[in-house]
Amino acid sequence: MTEHRRGPTGHVYATMRIVLVCATAVLLFGLSLRPLLEEDYRHRGLAACAFAVLAVVTSACSWWVFRRRPLPAALTVTGTLLVLAAATAATVAVSPERRFQAPDWSFGLAGWYVLLLLLDRVRLLVTVLAAHLTMSAGLFLVAGTPDRAALGTAGATAFGAVGVQLAVVVITRVLCGRSREAAEAAEERDRLLTRMLAAHQWRERQRDLFAAQMGTVLPLLAGLADGVTDPRDEDTQRQCALTATQLRRLFAQNDDVPDPLVHEVTACVDVAERRGVDVSFAVSGAAVELPLRIRQELTGPLVTALSAARRRARVSVLRTEEEVRIAVIADAGTVAPAPSTGPVVVEYGGYGQFQRLETRWRK
């Protein structure tokens, strides 16, 4: 797994690398420099070169780590090879009988550099650590058959160093997992809050729509109940048909259906058919997700035309990848819908006793 600049895991890796670069600097200059200066070596110059290489790797990594940026691949590959080469050189410079002891300061230190460079590449990190341990053990055994005390010292040193370093890997993985879980929980909480806010806004909008609709329905019902309005009057019948169609469309907007636009148009057609109007209805194209406001503007003229239709009407819905159209032809005489002020274009015209209206919305 590679490190990401952003996200919870990237934050964990960046923080852990700051800790590791500080740890390597302290181990290199605080604990390894003294044995290099005081102990006897077969090749002191080789050990000093190894020390200098590790110091350069520390400086190069610090430039990126303290800016909390991921290490470049070139630095990771080059640094890993340099660390292994420096660790091998420092081990070779130590007398065989003093390996895995204080003069052999590069053994445990190299593992911390491998952690610093390959922390976000766990499989490669474990492979490099195993290769380094195998190399160190091989140099130790090739020099001669060690006694039991030397084997015990070497085993304890190797187990202590590698065990702590692998524990850092495990801790980092656990922190990454917890960070991802926390981030997912926060995202889920944000999604729930967003849905709650959207539901609240939708409820308020529907309440306003119902209140506006009731503002036209109640005076009509009051007029009919008081006898002020004549139900046999053609204008009254048209007003009742318009109100019924608007209410039916409003109710249809609350239904959870896969194709809301066609569902709302079908509801308007159903009201017209209940009044005895012969409606021909055709749909072409796949469903297109539309906001409620766009659907209302598309179906508004349809409501007006169908409520004014006397005997026949033809409704068609055409949907493509670029636009959505709703057209209606009805024997409604002259119908002038309210002009559209939004993204929906309304066109209408008369053909004798028939009236044609079309609404069009383009992406």
Q: The whole model's pTM is what?
A: 0.52
Structure confidence at residue 105 (pLDDT): 78
Structure confidence at residue 99 (pLDDT): 66
The alpha carbon of residue 295 and the mean position of all alpha carbons in its chain are separated, in whole angstroms, by 29
Q: Which residues pair with 324 in a beta bridge?
A: 319, 361
Structure confidence at residue 4 (pLDDT): 44
φ/ψ of 49, rounded to 5, equals -65, -40
Pairwise CA distance, residues 95 & 338, whole Å = 98
Contact (CB, 8 A) for 299 and 249: yes
Pairwise CA distance, residues 243 & 197, whole Å = 31
Contact (CB, 8 A) for 328 and 297: no
In three state form, how does the secondary structure of the chain look?
A: CCCCCCCHHHHHHHHHHHHHHHHHHHHHHHHHHHHHHHCCCCCHHHHHHHHHHHHHHHHHHHHHHCCCCCCCHHHHHHHHHHHHHHHHHHHHHCCHHHCCCCCCCHHHHHHHHHHHHHCCCHHHHHHHHHHHHHHHHHHHHHCCCCCHHHHHHHHHHHHHHHHHHHHHHHHHHHHHHHHHHHHHHHHHHHHHHHHHHHHHHHHHHHHHHHHHHHHHHHHHHHHHHHCCCCCCCHHHHHHHHHHHHHHHHHHHCCCCCCCHHHHHHHHHHHHHHHCCCEEEEEEECCCCCCCHHHHHHHHHHHHHHHHHCCCEEEEEEEECCCEEEEEEEECCCCCCCCCCCCCCEEEEEEECCEEEEEEEEEC
Tell me the average confidence (pLDDT) per consecutive run of 10 residues in the chain, 363 residues long: 56 86 86 73 80 90 88 89 86 71 74 87 85 73 57 61 80 85 85 85 70 61 63 68 75 81 89 88 88 86 85 91 89 67 80 84 86
Structure confidence at residue 119 (pLDDT): 86
Structure confidence at residue 315 (pLDDT): 92
